[in-house]
Amino acid sequence: MSALAGYQRGESVVHRLHPVTKVTLLVCCVLGAYLAPPVALVALLGLLVCSSAVAGVATSVGRAALPILVPLALGLLAIHGFFRAGSGAVLASVGPLTLWRDGVAYAISFLGVLTAFVLAGLVFVSTTHPKKLMTGLTDAGVPRKLGYVFVASLQLVPDLRRRAERIVDAQRSRGLDTRGSVPSRVRALVSLLGPLLIGALVSTQTRSLALEARGFSLDGPRTSLYALSSTRLDWALRVGGVLGVVGLAGWRLL
Amino acid sequence: MAERTESGFLGGIRREFTTQTWALIPVGVALSVVAAYVVNVVRVPFLYLDALGVVLVALLAGPWAAALTGVFVNVVEGFLVNPTFWAYTPLQVAFGLAAGYMARRGWFRRYWKVVVVGLVIAVISIVMGAPITVLAFGGVTGTGSDAVTTFFRATGANIWSAVVGQTLVVEPIDKVVTVLLAALVAKRIPRRYMPDTAARVLDREE
């Protein structure tokens, strides 16, 4: 596991959109990708690529998307390309394996949907700062404690990972067997995860004291470091996204 | 915080969410995400352990805290690793609720019962996960499990049977190991660091 995607600093139009707008558009893109006919799907993919270019995150999004999409593409080709005969038209056959034309077409169209899903997610992730997202959602009425959990989790991951690396080194120097039989490797997991969790729990007690000292469980309004405002563009995009999805759903049903 | 004397369903949920629980939830989330790294070190096939943090929070805090952990495990994994994790959020929520309520009823107090909890979670994972994999992802997951799905397709199974077959092979191993690890790790926590909300774990082995 490596953190492939991540927030990229920037001042583009996409970066400056209100976080609620981006969440709305993300949900609309994902739903739209599943509902859309091929033409609209290609247009959506084009829009996503353009917005990543406008935001200046095209390279990093591309680099993050490839390791996600290539295994999905291979899986789709293997599961559908070889085994979904459809009308029975053959694209190629090597030995006992037959690549069906309808199966490949199905795999490609499904890959398009998944690409839209992954690209929308990555553009969102790389242009939205988690703290601004938290502030935006709290302003929109999401409980503050949920925002804390989200931001604290994101920050804890690299911290816990460093801790895990140190524990792996320490236990290896004490003769931990990570190359033996599968049962002994599962036992090794206990000696790795035990110290990791106990260390994290010890710091949990300190952290809950620190949170209480800062009035975590008090009620009442809070002020935020970030001032967020919705522009006219925000509203246009929110309304446009929702109308687009409703339109596609209506077209599907009729 | 709510008074300790509060009773009823909502009161029970509120009692679960102490400040320590709120501090524990991010730990559970991060542990689930980092578990993938630790598994990578020891290289056990078909082991993902991405429910580990959820089951641990279920043991240490309770079902609803675990359900909330489940939501954030997938939100955060979607943020840091791969947005397709977002689609599987309902699974983790169900794992948390199941593990939490079973822990309350003493299902973590003996080894064989812990294995049963693992199997229950595996069944939840199969029943809820297979439809998501087939309908939202065309049957693929982008992991090594796809090889198993392809194998079942090669035996002539349709896409639904192939995906269910794949999850029947992969899920029970992953979930039983996850739950056993969670129980063993929770048992090793020194009493002074154990939250007040914790369920009893493996105290009746013989």
DSSP states of A44-103 as a string? HHHHHHHHHHHTT-HHHHHHHHHHHHHHHHHHHIIIIITT--TT--EEEEETTEEEEHHH
Question: What amino acid occupies position B111?
Answer: Y
Cβ of residue B127 closer than 8 Å to a chain A Cβ: no
**B-chain residues near A145 (CB < 8 A):** 22
Query: Which is more confidently placed, B179 or B80?
Result: B179
Burial of A50 (0-12, 13-18, 19+ CB in 10 A): exposed
Q: What is the pLDDT of residue B148?
A: 87
CA atoms of B64 and B101, how far apart (whole Å): 9
Q: What is the pLDDT of residue A22?
A: 92
Query: Which is more confidently placed, B98 or A184?
Result: B98
**A-chain residues near B175 (CB < 8 A):** none
Nearest-by-CA chain B residue for A201: B193
Q: What is the pLDDT of residue B143?
A: 79
Chain A segment 124-143 residues within 8 A of B by beta carbon are 124-125, 130
Answer whether B201's CB lies under 8 Å from B107's CB. no
Token reading at B124: 């939840």
**B-chain residues near A214 (CB < 8 A):** none
Q: What is the pLDDT of residue B5?
A: 52
If we measure between CA atoms, which residue out of A18, A15, A34, A61 comes closest to residue A244?
Answer: A34
pLDDT band at B205 (very low <50, low <70, confident <90, very high): low
Q: What is the pLDDT of residue A198?
A: 86
Query: Which is more confidently placed, B138 or B117?
Result: B117
Beta carbons of B82 and A150 less than 8 Å apart:
no
Cβ of residue A154 closer than 8 Å to a chain B Cβ: yes
pLDDT band at B3 (very low <50, low <70, confident <90, very high): very low
CA of B72 to nearest chain A CA: how many angstroms apart? 7
CA atoms of A81 and A103, how far apart (whole Å): 4
Burial of B137 (0-12, 13-18, 19+ CB in 10 A): buried
Mean pLDDT of B11-29: 87
CA of A225 to nearest chain B CA: how many angstroms apart? 22
pLDDT band at B145 (very low <50, low <70, confident <90, very high): confident
Q: What is the pLDDT of residue B7?
A: 65
Which residues of chain A fall short of a pLDDT of 70?
A: 1-5, 95
Interior CA angle at A30 toward A29 and A31, to 5°? 95
CA of B123 to nearest chain A CA: how many angstroms apart? 22
Cβ of residue B48 closer than 8 Å to a chain A Cβ: no
CA atoms of A43 and A49, how far apart (whole Å): 10
Residue B2 clears pLDDT 70, i.e. is over it: no
Cβ of residue B3 closer than 8 Å to a chain A Cβ: no
Chain B segment 21-40 residues within 8 A of A by beta carbon are 22-27, 29-31, 33-40
**A-chain residues near B31 (CB < 8 A):** 160, 193, 196-197, 200
Q: What is the pLDDT of residue A190?
A: 85
Looking at the DSSP bridge assignments, the partners of residue A99 are A92
Query: Which is more confidently placed, B62 or A92?
Result: B62
* Three-state SS at B108: coil
**A-chain residues near B193 (CB < 8 A):** 198, 201-202, 205
Cβ of residue A78 closer than 8 Å to a chain B Cβ: yes
Token reading at A92: 């190629």
Answer whether B137's CB lies under 8 Å from A114's CB. yes
**Residue A20 CB coordination number (10 Å):** 18
Least confident piece of the model among A30-34, A242-246, B18-22, B87-91: B18-22
Query: Which is more confidently placed, B27 or B43?
Result: B27
CA distances from B151 to B19, B84, B143, B166, B169 (A): 48, 23, 14, 9, 12
Q: What is the ipTM of this complex?
A: 0.85
Chain B segment 170-189 residues within 8 A of A by beta carbon are 177, 181, 184-186, 188-189
CA of B52 to nearest chain A CA: how many angstroms apart? 10
Interior CA angle at B142 toward B56 and B71, to 5°? 35
CA atoms of A197 and B183, how far apart (whole Å): 12
> Domain locations in chain A?
13-128, 135-214
Mean pLDDT of B160-182: 90
Q: What is the pLDDT of residue A45?
A: 94
Beta carbons of A200 and B30 less than 8 Å apart:
yes
List the single residue in A1, A107, A146 with the smallest CB-CB distance to B37.
A1
